[in-house]
Amino acid sequence: MKIIEPYLNFWARLTVKIRKPLVIGITGSVGKSTTTAMISSVLTHPPIEKMIGKVGYTQDNMNDDIGLPATLLRFHNWSEIPHNRSAKLLMLCKIPFRALSLILGNYPKVLVLEYGAGWSGHMRQLINIVSPDIAIVTMIGPAHLERFKTLEGIAREKSRLVQSASPSGLVILGEDHEFVSFLEAKANAPVIKVSGKGTELSRNITLAVCKHMGIPEEIVSPALENFINLKGRLDVIELTDTTVIDDSYNANPLSVKFGLDMLEKITKPGQRRVAILGTMAELGEESVRLHEEVGQYARERVDLLVGVGELAKWYQPNTWFDNSGECAESINNYLRKGDCVFIKGSASANMGQIVKKLKKNSE
């Protein structure tokens, strides 16, 4: 059923071409989902949405060549995209009617879209479906090196979104990485550079978007205060005896370092800093070196470093486990009451299992 992708693309392109929403596109090696969620949360704050009109946005990590057009056609999560043949055939029959109802009916005035590039040339495919008026690159770092080989390759791929931004629009760049000047040189639109790491960067980007859209700061601030972070993305959880920073959704070297910085920042006097780090996937030939580098960064900032998974041995942890299940079952052997614990690893490491165990123990 390979026909479903071009079919989705055709109707999605037609819909946005006719309805002409303002498109805000977000990419980057770290923080793109949090930035997408924060911008969406602020723009859908009732006083703001009343001012700018209906807002649609990427949900459930639907940021690839199926997820992006599906989002444009107002599918909200992956469960709405069928996997079996008969359901796909039914979907193909319904898509033209769905698109026509959106063209003739109620469609967002603003779309906040996450662009996830998984291989060389992928970003071009996504931009061909819909290009942004406002293009945002959070940061460039070592993610998907197995596919892109070099940081320069990642930067080139992400720069395509910058190049595609409307000259009458805007480019917003996180400034705390080495490829800012490279990205800025690719822009055909005015460029704003913003500072910060992690949620601070997302916040500053959101403020820049709102200012460009003419939204008064006095109604943006309360909307930002109401933002609830995504599950598994630097989500601070206060349990009975432990503070947990749940960043278990995924990991690359840059995002792990940001999380460790946050651990260092929020730890209260008397609390022990503990990092439980799973392996980082898709780093290719640089994998061992990058695990060693992150391990050194962690050891300089924590009181206890726990590694999970084969590659996590290169962190040189104080304690190591083969998998997250073993780590979760042994948690009482290495954690103490009052610890501040940072938990992170690639999706394949299943680090969320450790978060669940900690929550269960505190009940």
According to the model, what pLDDT value does residue 183 have? 97
Half-sphere exposure of 269 (CA within 13 A, CB side): 0
Rounded average pLDDT over 338-353:
95
Strands 235-238 and 110-114: unpaired
- What the block records as the tokens of 217 is 């700061």
- What the block records as the tokens of 269 is 């006097």
Cβ atoms of 4 and 75 within 8 Å: the answer is no
According to the model, what pLDDT value does residue 141 have? 84
User: Shortest CA distance to 301 belongs to which of 339, 355, 248, 259?
Assistant: 259
Cβ atoms of 136 and 26 within 8 Å: the answer is yes
Rounded average pLDDT over 317-345:
96
- What the block records as the tokens of 337 is 């009451």
User: Shortest CA distance to 249 belongs to which of 142, 115, 352?
Assistant: 352
According to the model, what pLDDT value does residue 2 have? 66
Q: Please, what sign has the CA dihedral across residues 261, 329, 350, 33? A: negative
Count of C-beta atoms within a 10 Å radius of residue 316: 15
According to the model, what pLDDT value does residue 253 have? 94
Q: Who contacts 185 (Cβ-Cβ below 8 Å, separation ≥6)?
A: none
Considering only 111-120, 209-218, 345-354, which range has the smallest mean pLDDT?
111-120
Tens of pLDDT, residues 213-249: 999 999 999 999 989 888 888 889 999 989 999 999 9
Cβ atoms of 51 and 139 within 8 Å: the answer is no
According to the model, what pLDDT value does residue 118 have? 80
Q: Residue 239 region, left (φ>0) first, then alpha (ψ -120 to 50), else beta?
A: beta
Position 1 pLDDT exceeds 50 = no
Count of C-beta atoms within a 10 Å radius of residue 136: 33
Rounded average pLDDT over 319-323:
97
Share of the chain above pLDDT 70, in %: 99
- What the block records as the tokens of 179 is 């490829």
Q: Who contacts 99 (Cβ-Cβ below 8 Å, separation ≥6)?
A: 11, 12, 14, 15, 73
User: Shortest CA distance to 145 belongs to which of 135, 132, 155?
Assistant: 155
Position 284 pLDDT exceeds 50 = yes
Q: How confident is the model at residue 142 (pLDDT cuts 50, 70, 90)?
A: confident
SS3 19: helix
Share of the chain above pLDDT 90, in %: 80
Mean pLDDT, the chain, rounded, equals 93
Q: What is the pTM of this model?
A: 0.90
Rounded average pLDDT over 21-43:
96
Rounded average pLDDT over 128-135:
97
- What the block records as the tokens of 241 is 């005896």
Tens of pLDDT, residues 55-113: 999 999 999 999 999 999 999 999 888 878 888 888 888 999 999 999 999 999 999 99
According to the model, what pLDDT value does residue 84 have? 81
Cα 323 to Cα 311: distance, rounded to the nearest angstrom? 11
**Cα–chain center distance at 70:** 18
CA distances from 245 to 125, 144, 328, 351 (A): 35, 24, 15, 12
SS3 172: strand
Q: How confident is the model at residue 33 (pLDDT cuts 50, 70, 90)?
A: very high
**Of the ranges 153-157, 223-227, 268-272, 299-303, the best mean pLDDT one:** 299-303
Strand order, beta sheet including 22-27: 55-57, 110-114, 22-27, 134-137, 170-174, 191-194
According to the model, what pLDDT value does residue 90 have? 85
